[in-house]
Amino acid sequence: MAQQVWAFGLNSHEQIALSKAGDLVTPHCMDAGDNIGVLYAVKRDGHLYHYGGMTGRHARKLTSPRNCTITKFFGTHDGLRGGITELGQLALLENDTFTLQGSLGTCPLLADIALINSGHVAAVILTSRVENWEVLEFHNVTSFIDWYNTPISEATHVVNLAITSSTAGESRPISTPLVSHKGNGRHIQLVASSTCFALLTESNDRGVVRSTIYTWGEARSHSALGRSVDEHNPPTSPGSVSALEGLRISKIASGGYMSAALTEDRDLYLWGQAQPGRGLLIDDMRAHNDDDVKLANVISPSEQGDTMDIRDVAVGNGHVVVITQDRRVFVAGSNTNGQLGTGDAEAFVPYWKEINLLREIALGVVCGDKTTYVETIRGHIALGSGHAEANV
């Protein structure tokens, strides 16, 4: 099946299309011949391409390591920085070429990586026990890379030293982890919003599969965590989102100060705030407390019927986009730069609104801070913008 990508939102510096002046308030088809300046990557015809970045706006073919498949990607607003191979090895991108770091057997193996706005990095480490997860946090990408390139025997000592030094209030080398988090369950997905991380895990209890979502981040992120915070459950340490316990979760998404969870039964749950401090709320996120998790009722205002089943969700900085089971696109939240793609001048849309142009052809979605990318039948496959990410 051939696919296309449709993009809309912030385009003041021609991030999405050189041929368009100003923000794109309706979907713009990004075909292979378009001169695109957005910071994202595309997999096409079995090859990876990088669009935009600091070195130009034309699509550039990326060279992957020989005999390796990169399954995870990470970067900043300056573009892609690297990825993780299917074996868990780090590969850094420079001059359009991915270069493997370290060597298998002497370097840590990675399962996932995410960054928040402060630059802090969270990396999921592959452990010898499949049913346990471990996450290390780093001050920035540079310190993470420096740590990764430390031989594994030294790296283990560095982690222990970092935890001890943190507790004792001593100084620590910049390349050591800030902290190590561990827990029970198998890592499924790690995502990041502006100020916090969310980790989806899965465990098997006597044949019963259970999902758990852990959230944590900066001290000021308590209202975006979806859980209560106190001295025993601080915002800076992973704590479970208890409202979702007992549900099988297939995907999580985060952006700005909001997060979403999609269940295997196609239900959508939301928590956090769309526009903190501005009093602007998405109708499905109106709650008595900031830590409440709400079941979304995605339904067209012009139609009567039950809540729609959801197949995909993405979250930007104040906006949410969902793909329904019948391949329709519904949006809500901030629309200051046209990131909802409806063509309306409204700066904020509190209710679900459909993008009729993409009706019944949508397959998936990713969001940047103020941009949206929808994969549809006919075209290419996109990876995201800013903090956005999707596997290829």
Per-residue pLDDT reduced to its tens digit, 268-285: 999 999 888 787 889 988
3-state secondary structure of 141: helix
Q: Is residue 213 part of a domain?
A: yes
Q: Is residue 347 part of a domain?
A: yes
Q: According to the model, what pLDDT value does residue 34 have?
A: 45
3-state secondary structure of 238: coil
Q: Is residue 266 part of a domain?
A: yes
Q: Is residue 316 part of a domain?
A: yes
Per-residue pLDDT reduced to its tens digit, 109-145: 999 999 999 999 999 999 877 789 999 999 999 999 9
- Tell me how crowded residue 68 is: count the other CB atoms within 10 A of its CB: 15
Q: What is the mean pLDDT of residues 354-360?
A: 93
Strand pairing report for 196-205 and 186-192:
antiparallel
| CATH number, position 377 | 2.130.10.30
Does the pLDDT at position 173 exceed 60?
Answer: no
| Length of the chain counted residue by residue | 392
Asked whether 352 and 300 are in contact (CB, 8 A), the reply is yes
Q: What is the mean pLDDT of residues 38-48?
A: 61
Q: Is residue 256 part of a domain?
A: yes
Q: According to the model, what pLDDT value does residue 68 have?
A: 87
Q: Is residue 312 part of a domain?
A: yes
Q: According to the model, what pLDDT value does residue 12 have?
A: 79
Q: According to the model, what pLDDT value does residue 152 have?
A: 62
Q: Is residue 267 part of a domain?
A: yes
Share of the chain above pLDDT 70, in %: 80
Q: Is residue 169 part of a domain?
A: no
Does the pLDDT at position 381 exceed 70?
Answer: no
Q: According to the model, what pLDDT value does residue 385 have?
A: 35
Q: According to the model, what pLDDT value does residue 338 have?
A: 95
Does the pLDDT at position 360 exceed 70?
Answer: yes
Q: According to the model, what pLDDT value does residue 389 have?
A: 37
Strand pairing report for 79-85 and 179-184:
unpaired
Cα 103 → chain centroid: 28
Does the pLDDT at position 172 exceed 70?
Answer: no
Domain count, the chain: 1
State the residue range of the domain holding 260: 3-67+185-382
Asked whether 362 and 328 are in contact (CB, 8 A), the reply is yes
Per-residue pLDDT reduced to its tens digit, 283-322: 988 866 767 899 999 987 777 778 899 999 999 999 999 9
Q: According to the model, what pLDDT value does residue 288 have?
A: 60
Does the pLDDT at position 36 exceed 70?
Answer: no
Q: How high is the mean pLDDT of the chain?
A: 83
Q: According to the model, what pLDDT value does residue 304 have?
A: 72
Cα 157 → chain centroid: 31
Per-residue pLDDT reduced to its tens digit, 78-106: 677 899 999 999 999 988 899 999 888 88
Q: What is the mean pLDDT of residues 334-346?
A: 94
Task: Give pTM, 2 decimals.
Answer: 0.87
